[in-house]
Amino acid sequence: MESKKYKILIADDEYWTREKIRRMIQWDKYGLLFLEPAVDGEDVLRKMEEHHPDIVITDINMPYLDGVELLRILQEKYPEVVTFVISGYDDFDYVKNSFMAGSINYLVKPVGRIDLINALTKALELISKRRQQKEETLRAASFLQDREFSQLLERKETPFMPNITINGEIDYAGVTLILLKIHRLQTLSGRYGYDMNRLSFAVKRQLHELMGDEDAIIFNHVYRSNEFIIVSEKENQELRPLFEKISLKLEQEAESPVSVIFSDHSFSMDSIHQAYIQTVSLLMTRRFAPVSQVISTGKGAGAQEEIRNHFSERQKNELLTLLKRGQMEEARQYILHEIGLEDCQGNWSYLEVRQTVKRVAMFLTEYFSDLSQNQPAGTEDLDQVLDKELEALDGKGLCELLHDYIDSCTALSQSEGDTTRGTVRQAAEYIQEHYFEPLTLRELAERYHVEHSYFSRIFRREIGTSLLQYITKIRIEKAKEYIRKGNGNLTEIAFMVGYDDYTYFNKVFRKSEGMSPRDFREQMEKVQN
């Protein structure tokens, strides 16, 4: 995205209003240049000649030349400029006169971030219809929404009820937040050339069309790329049948299960963060199965179901006995049958599977660490890979990962010949060329016609590191290369190197480099400057 492409001019005679808006958004991140604000209408006209802004945001009540008259002049002399109003007055005549003078929006002070983002998005979309760079401008607007609204999800102190925008859009006094989660993005990401911005924009546009509601706010969670958030003023009972159809359609297109979770429709919702946490909590109650599911609050949501403990102290002791005796195959079968992970898919809740798998993984890690007096190779990556299989609702993949981990921690067999080394070298070269694609032990083993646990062992012996560690190393090196060259924002870079979840990418990068991707980028910028 080209930096500082669209120019924004604020006009208000109140200093604190101008400064609040200046600091409300990191303008340059979205290709927006925040011009030095104008103090009155006459100052606006001077700056129009000098800077030629694309968007003008003006107060109504200003000295010398009021906002309504200014809007009329701008509409006559600069019809290509998009204008909207921020005012302390909600009188109908002010609103009517502003719209008649060419304003596309009317916001009442004090302006909240959601109001401003919505107004700016609408302005950029209007610009896109007037210019040749339509797709580029729409994607700039889309990225603005995604990033700013995602930050609201993560901040507990952010109010969810900003001042109402007087433009016929959502009344935030009563809304429903909907979490739509596409559990596997691999098929969609390949379809859009592993370009997260294109994918995000296309899915949001499709959701608007399927909902038939252009006023609904839809954005992509930039820190969890497979999550889309919808904010609608419609009631749950009206939305649920619609999203049951939408989830099935997306399931077919994405070749992935889809979860749709509704928050309460409330007039007293304190924050968008709290509504989001409610949907994430409800997500934990869904059946762990690769099928789409729609969940809402109330009876039948699953929130009242008892969470069962599938890994008791007795089972820990029995598994420990098998491990100490060196009965590794029996230990693997115990995890499958006695603990019951082979039956988790479709029978356990997401939370039950998550808790059990994490506890078993921690138990194995502690046992093999004590056995070798060192952390086994691959241990630090196990938790992260299990998270990816959990996200994909893949019970079989979880079992195979735990089994492969046991294999990797046991003694390796005698060395193999040149054929084995050739297979491993081919696999390593394939990873170097296809690092941005979904790469798993199972798929690579099948590609080279080798049993997956055996493939894991020979890869570690020949390369000196686990398969996952090798994939991670290649991806992080590519990410660092993209960051040095300034190729895209960090979310895009994560997607370009094979991570569809920025939070996961950030965690892996930090563990590899000892710093976050953002810190690495800032370090590179200092070196280059």
Q: How far is Cα 44 from Cα 65, in angstroms, rounded to an integer?
A: 10
Place of tokens 């979205």: 30
Asked if the model's pLDDT at residue 304 lies above 70, the reply is: no
3-state secondary structure of 220: strand
The residue with greater pLDDT, 146 or 348, is: 348
Question: Higher confidence at residue 131 or residue 23?
Answer: 23
Residue % of the chain over a pLDDT of 90 = 18
Q: Give the pLDDT of residue 132.
A: 56
Name residues whose C-beta falls within 8 Å of residue 510's C-beta, 6 or more positions apart in sequence: 516, 517
Does 271 score more than 70 pLDDT?
no
Q: Which range (23-32, 248-257, 424-433) has the least confidence? A: 23-32
Condensed to tens digits (0 to 9), the pLDDT of residues 433-482 reads: 888 887 877 788 888 877 777 777 778 778 878 888 889 999 999 999 98
Going by pLDDT thresholds of 50, 70 and 90, the confidence category of residue 349 is very high
Q: Which residues contact 460 (CB under 8 A, 6 or more apart)?
A: 377, 378, 408, 412, 466, 467
* Per-residue pLDDT tens over the stretch 478-490: 999 988 888 778 8
- The phi and psi torsions of 157 (rounded to 5 degrees) equal -85, -5
Q: Which of the listed ranges 151-155, 172-176, 381-385, 445-449 does the model predict with the highest average pLDDT?
A: 445-449
Q: What is d(CA 470, CA 427) in angstroms, rounded to the nearest whole number? A: 11
> What mean pLDDT, rounded, does the chain reach?
79
Give the residue from 411, 311, 394, 401 showing the smallest Cα distance to 350.
Answer: 394
Closest CA to 67 of 36, 89, 35: 89
**Selected residue with higher pLDDT from 298 and 394:** 394
Query: Looking at the predicted structure, is the pLDDT value of residue 288 above 90?
Result: yes
Long-range contacts of 85-90 (CB under 8 A, 24+ apart): 85/57, 85/58, 85/59, 85/60, 86/12, 86/17, 86/21, 86/57, 86/58, 86/59, 86/111, 87/59, 87/60, 87/61, 88/59, 88/61, 89/60, 89/61, 90/166
**Of 338-342, 415-419, 489-493, highest mean pLDDT:** 338-342
**pLDDT of res. 238:** 84
Tell how far CA 447 is from the center of its chain.
31
For range 335-341, the mean pLDDT = 91
pLDDT for 380 beyond 60: no
Residue 60: is its pLDDT beyond 70? yes
For 27, which DSSP code?
Answer: G
Mean pLDDT within 482-509? 83
- What single-letter amino acid sits at 326? G
Tens of pLDDT along 226-252?
Answer: 999 998 888 878 889 999 999 999 999
Q: Is the dihedral of CA 311, 315, 321, 325 positive or negative?
A: negative
Judged against a pLDDT cut of 90, whether residue 260 lies above it is answered with yes
Lowest mean pLDDT, pick from 162-176, 276-290, 454-468:
162-176
Query: To which H or E segment does residue 217 belong?
Result: strand 217-220
Distance CA 525, CA 194 (A): 25
Query: For residue 449, what are its two tokens?
Result: 């016609």
Instruction: Please report the pLDDT score of residue 245 as a whole number.
Output: 93
Residue with the larger pLDDT of the pair 516 and 164: 516
- pLDDT tens-digit profile of 191-212? 887 777 788 888 988 998 899 8
CA distances from 523 to 1, 480, 520 (A): 21, 11, 5
3-state secondary structure of 322: helix
pLDDT at residue 163 is higher than 70: no
At 195 the pLDDT is: 77
Length of the chain: 529
Average pLDDT of span 56-74: 81
Q: Residue 145: what pLDDT?
A: 77
Residue 514 gets which letter from DSSP?
A: S
Cis-peptide, bond into residue 110, ω within 30° of zero: yes
Confidence of residue 303 (pLDDT cuts 50, 70, 90): very low
Give pLDDT, residue 252: 93
Q: Rounded to whole angstroms, how far apart are CA atoms 8 and 498?
A: 35
Q: What is the structure's pLDDT at 90?
A: 61
Question: Given pLDDT bands bounded at 50, 70 and 90, which one contains residue 287?
Answer: very high
Measured CA to CA in angstroms, residue 242 lies from 82, 175, 211, 397 at distances of 35, 16, 7, 32
pTM, whole model, 2 decimals?
0.67
pLDDT of residue 103: 65
Q: What is the mean pLDDT of residues 48-74?
A: 84
**Separation between Cα atoms, residue 29 and residue 216, nearest integer Å:** 25
Distance in angstroms (rounded) separating the CA atoms of residues 56 and 44: 9
